[in-house]
């Protein structure tokens, strides 16, 4: 099976895969990046190594381009390839009147232009407002803020494996996804 046929799994970075903070937490960080103490979400390597067997992987963060590319270089397990690593410059700035602020949105029509069908694309994010246009493709995770007991990636991995062969991810009810799997 080649990557074109696999579902594309687009992963957010901050508070989804890592937590970067200028204020050190009680536990030691996994690494330092510029002025940030960076904590990897528990089970991150296992998650990426498992997901690459079932999905084509990509990263899309609304953070600064240089930060994203350098952080991904550090956390990427050996042998993992990302279809793309996108950052702020690929986001669309939109005024969100409900939140009364500007939001950097990830608009999936940009990946459609790259030849990835939206029926076969999932985006995982802790910030629903950033994928508002794409809720049919989105899976929202709890934000990771450094809790060493966090189990989100294990639960997410189980859910994703249960839908990996879907022909159209947009028809899958993804709200309440945590309750759809046996732990
Ligand atoms: Mg995030």
Structure tokens at 171: 């028809």
The radius of gyration computed from the CA coordinates of the chain, to the nearest angstrom, equals 16
61 C-alpha to center of ligand 1: Å?
7
Q: Is 57 exposed, middle or buried (0-12, 13-18, 19+ CB in 10 A)?
A: buried
| Fold held by 8-180 | Rossmann fold (3.40.50)
Ligand 1 centroid, distance to 12 Cα (angstroms): 6
Q: How far is the CA of 97 from the centre of ligand 1 (A)?
A: 20
Global pTM reads: 0.94
Tell me what pLDDT residue 3 has: 45
- Quick one: how many helices (H) and strands (E) in the chain? 4, 10
User: Distance between CA atoms of 113 and 115, rounded to whole angstroms?
Assistant: 5
Q: From ligand 1's centre to the CA of 104, what distance in Å?
A: 11
Mean per-residue pLDDT pooled into runs of 10, the chain (183 residues): 75 98 97 98 98 98 97 97 97 89 92 94 93 87 97 96 94 87 62
Distance 14 CA to ligand 1 centre (A): 4
Q: Would you state the pLDDT for residue 135? A: 80
The pLDDT value given to residue 128: 87
pLDDT at residue 99 in the model? 84
- Distance (angstroms) between ligand 1 centre and the Cα of 17 equals 8
CA of 1 to the centre of ligand 1 (A): 31
Nearest to 38 by CA among 123, 145, 125, 168: 145
In this structure, which residues have their CB less than 5 angstroms from ion ligand 1?
12, 14-16, 126
């Amino acid at each position: 099976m080649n990557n074109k046929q696999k579902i594309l799994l687009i992963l957010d970075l901050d508070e989804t895969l890592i937590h970067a903070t200028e204020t050190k937490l009680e536990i030691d960080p996994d690494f330092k990046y510029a002025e940030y103490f960076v904590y990897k979400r528990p089970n991150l390597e296992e998650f990426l190594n498992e997901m690459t067997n079932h999905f084509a992987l990509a990263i899309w963060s609304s953070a600064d381009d240089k930060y994203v590319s350098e952080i991904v270089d550090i956390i990427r397990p050996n042998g993992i390839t990302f279809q793309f690593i996108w950052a702020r410059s690929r986001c669309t700035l939109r005024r969100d009147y409900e939140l009364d602020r500007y939001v950097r949105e990830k608009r999936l029509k940009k990946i459609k232009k790259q030849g990835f069908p939206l029926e076969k694309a999932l985006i995982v994010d802790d910030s629903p407002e950033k994928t508002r246009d794409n809720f049919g493709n989105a899976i929202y995770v709890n934000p990771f803020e450094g809790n060493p007991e966090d189990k989100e990636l294990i639960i997410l991995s189980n859910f994703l494996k249960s839908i990996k062969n879907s022909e159209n991810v947009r028809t899958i009810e993804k709200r309440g996804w945590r309750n759809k799997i046996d732990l």
